[in-house]
Amino acid sequence: MDWLTRMNQVLDYIEEHLDQEIDYKELAKIAYCSDFHFSRMFASLSGISLSEYIRRRRLTRAAFDLQRTDIRILEVANTYGYESADSFSRAFKKMHGIKPSECRHEGVPLKAFPKISFQLTIKGDTEMEYRIEHVEFEITLAGKGETVSTNRAFKIIPTLWSKGKKNGFMQELIDMSWKNPKCTLEGVLGVCGKEAAIMEEEFTYFMGVRYDGEPREGMETVVIPPSTWAVFPNVREAWKRLYTEWVPTSGYELANLPCIECYYGPGHKPRHELWVPIVTP
């Protein structure tokens, strides 16, 4: 279980650097995946965002320090990444329910958020549907790209689609799509960057459709080479279960192509799918 070992090494690294600045890129490097995929994978596995996990572990450690030593509150605050005693006090009270100064009183209740560990649990009660698709020819997409912050991608991308629906861009894509289908990768598409391993702080999320003609004014094109894909129904559910259930046991590796969110036309079942580029064994 090399994958599982790497994720637990990430937790060890976090634990050893709670009193230092933690580089999220270094965490992704340890996990051997991109920033983009690592944040989603961590949240899916742990049920908590990476930043929130680190925050809770630091505040847990801060409470221990305050109880066991006579270190000044501001010094403890600075140790765990807070620039002022006020900001530390607000965060501390939000988690523990009391002020930092009060935790030194005997008998006060505190909350300890423990270090987590990842283990593989085999669940046989819910299947994860997928299929393998081989697209043996080049596909040209027409549309528009938007710059997205990698760490906030899963919050920003839904707002891009909402904006596109309001300003008519979504309808324009719909009018261009679902004509002369060449393969099952049809519909309105969301292309996540240039490759599955997104290592930069920002990437381009491209909203478009397969289109063989000249791109319309204000649009650009993206070319997807012949490739192999693992395809999962239900985009949101697929993202949630991809790294916790499918990747660790599938034996496949991600290819150097972008993941694509595919939203189909009326009457199509399923309504949307996640296309994940893979390298076949």
Please, what is the average pLDDT of the chain? 85
**CA 19 to chain CA mean position, Å:** 25
pLDDT at residue 213 tops 70: yes
Q: 275 — phi, psi (to 5°)? A: -100, 120
Per-residue pLDDT, 220: 93
Confidence band of 262 (pLDDT split at 50, 70, 90): very high
Confidence band of 1 (pLDDT split at 50, 70, 90): very low
Is 75 or 124 the better-scoring residue by pLDDT?
75
The pLDDT tens digits for 88-105 are 999 999 999 999 999 888
Instruction: Identify which of 110, 1, 134 has the alpha carbon closest to the alpha carbon of residue 59.
Output: 110
Fold agreement (2-104, 131-279): no
Confidence band of 142 (pLDDT split at 50, 70, 90): very high
pLDDT at residue 4 tops 50: yes
pLDDT at residue 193 tops 60: yes
Do the beta carbons of residue 159 and residue 237 sit within 8 Å?
no
Per-residue pLDDT, 120: 60
Sign of CA dihedral 178, 181, 187, 191: negative
Please name the fold of domain 2-104.
Answer: Arc Repressor Mutant, subunit A (1.10.10)
Identity of the highest mean pLDDT range in 15-19, 115-119, 128-132, 264-268: 15-19
pTM of the model: 0.63
R_g over Cα of the chain: 23
| Matching CATH number, 131-279, of 3.40.50.1980, 3.20.80.10, 3.40.1390.10, 3.40.50.2300 | 3.20.80.10
Domain ranges of the chain: 2-104, 131-279
- How many alpha carbons lie under 13 Å from residue 161 in its C-beta half-sphere? 14
Average pLDDT over residues 170-174: 88
Say how far apart CA 278 and CA 133 lie, in whole Å. Answer: 10
Q: Which residues contact 223 (CB under 8 A, 6 or more apart)?
A: 138, 139, 140, 141
